């Protein structure tokens, strides 16, 4: 860490950190206005099992590229959720962290649900465990690496570990987290605000490990050795919602490798079908979330099939009529999570002489992707979550056709923000909130957005519903 500024500038700037699966991004922003001052980025190593030291090295590189922290008054870390970081009594990493996308714990998830029942899990922690959840990874650890399990004195998440390292502590009793990230472990209730150590014991075989203290949305997490104030941090989806300024009635539709539909709401969800994950927000409410496996890569695949780039795919899709003349693409190209069809494949229905054109196929690809996301949105609405408008973010949101067709399929107005680092921005906004000591986060200028509205086309959803179950199993 560099020497602190003495001219008062450190009270005017805050830093937000996004430690994602692929990289570490740092933004430095004005604490009052949110104006971007500078930024930095560094890559993370590939793989689903990573030594946390690599996150620390990337953070140092990203901070250096962003000009350091000498003039920064506060910072907060947002990060990929669910990752299992096990520490010894001395604070050493017991084994490389298992990330959210490490699926070796899939059978452990099945076992945990079978033992307790989906309904009991949903009522206890708002979610039914799947392979991504920390609790399933702890069961895998206890079963397959019992010595590592025995040496584990504390369990934390990626953003917890980085906050702890930034504090300069080696005492596992100093670990802290926030509700949003804790709610993705499978042993914390966002409703009661308490850990369920009985579920931790069910997974790990013991409940005597140290768990991070859960801080409030704007509670101080300590300071760095150089005096920079630390915020509690957040899980990545919760931080993105804070960075976008999403509030009651807003749903964030993220179209990346996977599709994520989440909403900030006072409504707690307990879905024993495992479609909705009952996570918490970074601002004290709840953040129910639905994930689909097939999102931006549906557009990638359609463009490749048609021999065009993404702009060309958009032009083709917008040239075809709504509903593509009855042509429907069920986009289960990698199986599907919502609905739970892991062995399904994609399917094309309604092919006729009239619909056998590149334009119709392009339109069917866009509408099929959106119908899958609309199914996810419907699940939230059915759970009592109010949805009035949708923010469209992620790489797939850059598709003009998708943005223009989305309001017709989703049945809500769509806002397309300027592409940005919304997870890091949310962390920076939290840091400014902690620095100010106010009851609500600062009112920063909203990201520039383009609004899209269109008449709803229920026939598109109806046609999709007719055929979405008609898929072939994957050939192995």
Catalytic residue ranges: 236
In three-state form (DSSP H/G/I as H, E/B as E, the rest C), the secondary structure along the chain is CCCCCCCCHHHCEEEEEEECCCEEEEEEEECCCCCEEEEEEEECCCCCEECHHHHHHHHHHHHHHCCCCCCCCEEEEEECCCCEEEECCCCCECCCEECCCCHHHHHHHHHHHHHHCHHHHHHHHCCCCCCCCHHHHHHHHHHHCHHHHHHCCEEECHHHHHHHHHHCCCCHHHCEEEHHHHCCCCCEECCCCEECHHHHHHHHCCCCCECCEEECCCCCCCECCCCCEECCCEEHHHHHHHHHCCCCEEEEEEECCCEEEEECECCCCCCCCCCEEEEECCCCCEEEEEEECCCHHHHHHHHHHHCCCHHHHHHHHHHCCHHHHHCEEECCECEECCCCECCECCEEECCCCCCCCHHHHHHHHHHHHHHHHHHHHHHHHHCCCCEEEEEEECHHHHCHHHHHHHHHHHCCCEEEECCCCHHHHHHHHHHHHHHHCCCCCCCCCCCCEEEECCCCCHHHHHHHHHHCCCCCECCC
Q: Cα separation of 49 and 51, whole Å? A: 7
CA 469 remoteness from chain centre: 27
Q: Cα separation of 265 and 386, whole Å? A: 8
Q: Cα separation of 222 and 422, whole Å? A: 24
CA 188 remoteness from chain centre: 17
Q: Cα separation of 373 and 403, whole Å? A: 13
Q: Cα separation of 328 and 321, whole Å? A: 13
Strand partners, 452: 414
Counting Cβ atoms within 10 Å, is residue 472 exposed (0-12), middle (13-18) or buried (19+)?
exposed
36-43 vs 23-30, strand pairing mode? antiparallel
Q: Which two tokens stand for residue 428?
A: 């920076």
């Amino acid at each position: 860490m560099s020497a602190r500024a003495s001219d008062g500038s450190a009270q005017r700037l805050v830093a937000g950190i996004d430690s994602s699966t692929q990289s570490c991004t740092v933004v430095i922003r004005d604490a009052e206005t949110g104006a971007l001052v500078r930024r930095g980025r560094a890559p993370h190593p590939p793989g689903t099992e990573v030594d946390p030291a690599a996150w620390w090295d990337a953070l140092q590189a990203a901070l250096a590229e962003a000009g350091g922290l000498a003039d920064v008054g506060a910072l907060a870390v947002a990060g990929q959720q669910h990752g299992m970081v096990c520490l010894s009594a001395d604070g050493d990493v017991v084994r490389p962290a298992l990330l959210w996308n490490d699926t070796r714990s899939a059978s452990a998830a099945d076992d945990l649900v079978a033992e307790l029942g989906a309904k009991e899990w949903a009522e206890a922690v708002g979610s039914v465990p799947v392979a991504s959840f920390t609790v399933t990874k702890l069961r895998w650890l206890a079963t397959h690496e019992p010595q590592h399990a025995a040496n584990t004195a504390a369990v934390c998440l990626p953003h917890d570990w980085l906050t702890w390292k930034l504090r300069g502590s080696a005492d596992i009793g100093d670990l802290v987290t926030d509700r949003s990230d804790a709610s993705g472990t499978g042993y914390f209730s966002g409703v009661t605000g308490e850990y369920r150590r009985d579920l931790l014991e069910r997974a790990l075989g013991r409940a005597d490990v140290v768990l991070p203290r859960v801080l409030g949305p704007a509670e101080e997490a300590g300071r760095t050795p150089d005096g920079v104030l630390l915020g509690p941090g957040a899980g990545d989806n919760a931080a993105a919602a804070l960075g976008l300024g999403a509030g009651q009635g807003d749903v964030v539709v993220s179209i990346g490798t996977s599709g994520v539909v989440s909403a900030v709401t006072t409504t707690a969800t307990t879905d024993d079908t495992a479609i909705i994950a009952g996570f918490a927000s970074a601002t004290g409410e709840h953040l129910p979330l639905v994930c689909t496996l097939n999102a931006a890569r549906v557009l990638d695949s359609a463009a490749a099939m048609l021999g065009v780039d993404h702009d060309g795919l958009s032009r083709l899709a917008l040239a075809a009529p709504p509903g593509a003349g009855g042509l429907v693409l069920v986009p289960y190209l990698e199986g599907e999570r919502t609905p739970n069809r892991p062995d399904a494949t994609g399917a094309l229905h309604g092919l006729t002489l009239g619909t056998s054109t590149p334009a119709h196929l392009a339109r069917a690809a866009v509408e099929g992707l959106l119908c899958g996301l609309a199914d996810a949105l419907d699940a939230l609405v059915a759970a009592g979550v109010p949805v009035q408008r949708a923010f469209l973010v992620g790489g797939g949101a850059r598709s003009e056709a998708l943005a223009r067709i989305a309001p017709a399929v989703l049945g809500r107005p769509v806002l397309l923000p300027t592409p940005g680092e919304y997870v890091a921005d949310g962390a920076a906004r939290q840091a400014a909130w902690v620095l100010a000591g106010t009851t609500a986060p600062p009112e920063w200028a909203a990201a520039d957005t383009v609004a899209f509205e269109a008449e709803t086309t229920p026939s598109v959803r109806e046609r999709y519903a007719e055929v979405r179950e008609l898929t072939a199993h994957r050939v192995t």
